Chains A and B, each alone.
Chain A
Amino acid sequence: MADVRQTSLGAGAPAGHAAAHAEHAHHPKQQHHFYSMEQQLEASILGMWIFLVTEIMFFGGLFMAYLVYRHMYPLAWTESSHELNVILGGTNTAVLICSSLTMVLAVRSAQIGSRSGQIVNLILTILLGSTFLVIKFFEYKAKFEHGLVPGPHFDPHELTASGALVPLSLPQGSQIFFSLYFIMTGIHALHMVVGIGLMLVMLVMAWQGRFTPDYYNPIEVSGLYWHFVDIVWIFLFPLLYLLGYHFGV
């Protein structure tokens, strides 16, 4: 369609898509508005980073709220933090770090043209991401059982060493801590779900052999997203889980 329009412009106009291809052969994946494959990749990375900056600001607002309320209710923060499960949170940190390693290895496999390397590493990334969500589910489940969900049913209980649930008294402001805990980890988990969806698309594309050492932009920018979500967790883990840790040890 573009060909027809361009040729109808007159003799001076470029003779359209087909002629352009004949004029200078270029990589089939290179779009016409880029000078080179390198520039195209740089543009993809830059665009993804501009999106990630908006994500930084989005999570930044939540961290700002965390900062303000922690300043207002320091006692509630440390004591509520103590109710979070450091072992599960720490395991999840390690799981995410492992998934970041498999992610870079998947991108690297694309760079060196290994289709099997991409497939194996993408599957591992998806499995590790899913593991994170499963662990998160059991954490949330425990919070519900312990009555730590903010709202009308907020009724804190604690699991004793003998396995009994006993009522627990938390300072004023604890509901705000748990509100922020659920929204911050919940939005983070949502990003994980989106990331796993992205990786499934990448897996299909890798399976079809769509990525070559010349062109691997989609898997590269999806990787950037995955690592960003990892970085968010690197901050959430100490700020939420470890805050009151030394009180109980």
Chain B
Amino acid sequence: MSSSSGHAPIVSVGTYVMVFVALLIGTGLTVFAASRDFGALNTPIALGIAVTKASLVCLIFMGVRYNTPLTKVVVVSGLLWLLILFGLGMNDYLTRTWMGVPGR
């Protein structure tokens, strides 16, 4: 067996360090954004930064970018099911007060 493991390219240290710096900047940014009052937008901004940071970790540090299509499908399906949980869950809780039915 040759040592050329074709599927996983060796990522350069520079790329990893760049992602690392981006993650630290993201952390600073999220603390800064939280110290300002954006009204209802505070949480969406915080979540936007968190999702960006998580994507960086997922794609580069965890190497999903270099994985097989099957692994990518599994990763995306996990997120999809998470969204179904939040979406249908809140669909219930947010609409309970719409109608004056008993046991709402």
Contacts and interface: CB of A to CB of B under 8 A. Distances in A.
B71 A97 contact: no
Interface of B: 1, 3, 5-8, 10-11, 13, 16-17, 20, 23-24, 27, 30-31, 34-37, 42-43, 46-47, 49-50, 53-54, 57-58, 61-62, 67-68, 70-71, 74-75, 77-79, 81-82, 85-86, 89-90, 93-94
Contacts of A214: 1, 3, 5
Nearest 6 CB-CB pairs, A to B? A53-B78, A242-B34, A238-B46, A27-B1, A245-B34, A101-B20
Interface of A: 26-27, 30, 36-38, 41-42, 45-46, 49-50, 52-53, 56-57, 60-61, 63-64, 67-68, 71, 86, 90, 93-94, 97-98, 100-101, 103-105, 108, 111-112, 213-214, 223-224, 227-228, 230-231, 234-235, 237-239, 242-243, 245-246, 249
A242 B36 CA distance: 11
For the residues of B in contact with A, the DSSP-based class is helix
For the residues of A in contact with B, the DSSP-based class is helix
12 contacts: A42-B7, A49-B78, A50-B74, A57-B85, A68-B93, A86-B34, A101-B20, A104-B11, A234-B53, A234-B57, A239-B43, A239-B46
A220 to B, nearest CB: 8
